[in-house]
Chain A
Amino acid sequence: MAYTAEINRAKPTAFFFLIDQSGSMDDPYGLESNKRKCDAVADVINRLLSTLVLRCAKGEDVRDYFQVGVVGYGGAVRQGFSGPLANRQFVPISEVADNPLRVEQRMRKEDDGAGSLVERPVRFPVWFEPYANGNTPMTAAIEETRRAVQAWCELYPLSYPPSVINISDGEPTDGNPLPAAEALKQVGTNDGKILFYNIHISGSAKRPIEFPDSEIGLPDEFAQRLFEMSSVLPPRLVEEARREGFGATERSRGFAFNADLRSLIQFLDIGTRTAELR
Chain B
Amino acid sequence: MTGATDAESATTPSPTPAPLRFRVRAAHAPKEGNSEEEYEDAFACSAAEPLEGADRLTVALADGASSAVFARQWAQLLVTTFAADIPFPPDDAGAREAVARLGGVWREAVTGRARSWYAQEKLPAGSSAALLVADWDGERGTVCARAVGDVCLFLVRQDRLRFGFPLTKSGQFGDRPALLSTEPRADAPPILRFETPLEAGDRCLLMTDALAAYFLAEFEARRKPWDTLPLDGEAFAPWLKRQRDSGAIKNDDVTVVEVAAISPSGS
B118 with A97: CB separation less than 8 A: yes
The 3 closest A-B pairs by CB, nearest first: A271-B66, A276-B125, A57-B118
Mark B35-77 against chain A: 1 for CB-CB distance below 8 A, else 0.
Answer: 0001000000000000000000000000101111111000000
- The residues in B between 84 and 135 inclusive whose CB is less than 8 angstroms from any CB of A are 110, 113-122, 124-126, 128, 130
B176 with A57: CB separation less than 8 A: no
What is the interface of chain B mostly: helix, strand, loop, or mixed? loop
Instruction: Jot down 23 A-B pairs with beta carbons below 8 A, ordered by A.
Output: A8-B33, A8-B251, A9-B33, A50-B121, A57-B119, A60-B114, A60-B116, A60-B119, A97-B118, A100-B117, A113-B186, A114-B186, A120-B124, A123-B121, A270-B66, A271-B67, A271-B175, A272-B65, A272-B175, A274-B65, A274-B179, A275-B181, A276-B125
Interface flag for A183 (CB, 8 Å)? no
Q: Which of A8, A100, A274 has the most CB of B within 10 A?
A: A274
- Are A59 and B113 CB-contacts (below 8 A) given A6-B251, A271-B252? yes
A-B contact count (CB 8 A): 88
Interface flag for A207 (CB, 8 Å)? no
Residue in A closest to B110 when the chains form the complex, CB atoms: A59
Interface flag for A53 (CB, 8 Å)? yes
- Are A274 and B125 CB-contacts (below 8 A) given A8-B251, A57-B69, A269-B175? yes
B251 with A274: CB separation less than 8 A: no
Residue in A closest to B69 when the chains form the complex, CB atoms: A59
CB contact between B67 and one of A8, A120, A270 (< 8 Å): that residue: A270
Residue in A closest to B252 when the chains form the complex, CB atoms: A271
Shortest B184–chain A CB gap in Å is 10
CB contact between B121 and one of A54, A273, A277 (< 8 Å): that residue: A54
User: Which residues of B pack against A, CB within 8 Å?
Assistant: 31, 33, 38, 63, 65-71, 110, 113-122, 124-126, 128, 130, 175-177, 179, 181, 185-187, 251-252
Q: Which of B65, B120, B130, B179 has the most CB of A within 10 A?
A: B65
Residue in A closest to B66 when the chains form the complex, CB atoms: A271
The residues of A that contact B130 with a CB separation of less than 8 Å are 272
Interface flag for A10 (CB, 8 Å)? yes
A59 with B121: CB separation less than 8 A: no
Residue in A closest to B209 when the chains form the complex, CB atoms: A272
Q: Which of B66, B113, B114, B181 has the most CB of A within 10 A?
A: B66
Residue in A closest to B31 when the chains form the complex, CB atoms: A8
Q: How far is the CA of A125 from the CA of B110 in the complex (A)?
A: 22
User: Which residues of A pack against B, CB within 8 Å?
Assistant: 6, 8-10, 50, 53-55, 57-60, 62, 97-98, 100, 103, 113-114, 120, 122-123, 125, 269-278
CB contact between A272 and one of B70, B117, B125, B177 (< 8 Å): that residue: B177
The residues of B that contact A53 with a CB separation of less than 8 Å are 118
A274 with B114: CB separation less than 8 A: no
The residues of B that contact A277 with a CB separation of less than 8 Å are 67, 125
The residues of B that contact A57 with a CB separation of less than 8 Å are 69, 116, 118-119, 122
A54 with B185: CB separation less than 8 A: no
A274 with B68: CB separation less than 8 A: yes
Known contacts A269-B175, A273-B67, A275-B179; 12 additional CB pairs below 8 A are: A59-B113, A60-B116, A60-B119, A97-B118, A113-B185, A123-B121, A272-B67, A272-B68, A274-B181, A275-B181, A275-B185, A277-B67
B33 with A123: CB separation less than 8 A: no
The residues of B that contact A62 with a CB separation of less than 8 Å are 118
The residues of B that contact A58 with a CB separation of less than 8 Å are 38, 66, 69-71
Residue in B closest to A61 when the chains form the complex, CB atoms: B38
Shortest B128–chain A CB gap in Å is 4
Shortest A240–chain B CB gap in Å is 10
Residue in A closest to B177 when the chains form the complex, CB atoms: A272
Residue in A closest to B64 when the chains form the complex, CB atoms: A272
Q: How far is the CA of A54 from the CA of B121 in the complex (A)?
A: 8
Q: Which of B126, B176, B181 has the most CB of A within 10 A?
A: B176
Q: How far is the CA of A125 from the CA of B118 in the complex (A)?
A: 9
